[in-house]
Amino acid sequence: MKDLTNEKILAAREAVKLLVDGQIVGLGSGSSAYLAIHEIGALVKNGLDIKGVPTSQKTKDLAESLSIPLLNIEDVSAIDITIDGADEFTEELHLIKGGGSFLLKEKVVALLSKQQVIITDSSKKVDLLGKFTVPIEVIPYARNYVMTQLETLNGTGKIRMDGNKPLLTEQGNYLIDGDFGLIKDPASLAHELDGIVGVVEHGLFIGIATKVIMGSGDTAIVFQ
């Protein structure tokens, strides 16, 4: 049996070796990113001089609890490096993200970053994206329209629920989990989703990651 948590820890420890004094660091969301944030907190406690930009309220709360200095996204024009996780990735560094519902802020921070470093366990590597559904953030008013548009892309969608009501993102939007089967051309699908009115953002991260560090057994493998 693989110890996936240990693989994530290995990847996180490898990723934080890239941090140096004076950097602005994007802090991702999700189980892998939170492990990295704990590692960063330990480095800050030992004297590392960085400032973080969180991608969710949960990330912000965790970083503050570890005394990591933070900046508001409005106060930065560029981020030196972001460490985040992914739900799936390919060797081409195509990603699906957003299982934790924070994809919009994660993508904003990623696009501001000079380096976008993804940390994962070995279960997240795939030949083709699509076993994991594609999270699509939509304004509530447009949910039915967007669902019908997904059908024209040979996909289906399901509103992500929080109990008996739709889950709300931090921006007050809905999430549709889109199933397109295995995605042979993720860049084309991303472009099509970008063009649907009512879609705020989606979880296809294409051409954004600069490096994926994957824990595998007792070692870390780098894809770049």
Active-site residue, from 7, 39, 106, 201: 106
- Backbone torsion region of residue 163, taken as left when φ is above 0, otherwise alpha when ψ lies between -120 and 50, otherwise beta: left
The answer to whether the beta carbons of residues 72 and 26 sit under 8 Å apart is no
| Count of CB atoms situated within 10 Å of the CB of 191 | 12
Show the tokens assigned to 199. Answer: 């879609």
Task: Please answer whether residues 26 and 109 qualify as being in contact, where contact means their C-beta atoms are separated by less than 8 angstroms.
Answer: yes
Summarize the chain as % helix, strand, coil (round to 5).
35, 30, 35
Whether 170 is catalytic: no
CA distance 34 to 105: 16
Residue 190's contacts (CB-CB under 8 Å, 6 or more residues apart) are: 202, 204, 206
Cβ neighbors of 210 (< 8 A, separation 6 or more) are 93, 115, 116, 117, 224
Q: Which residues are catalytic?
A: 106
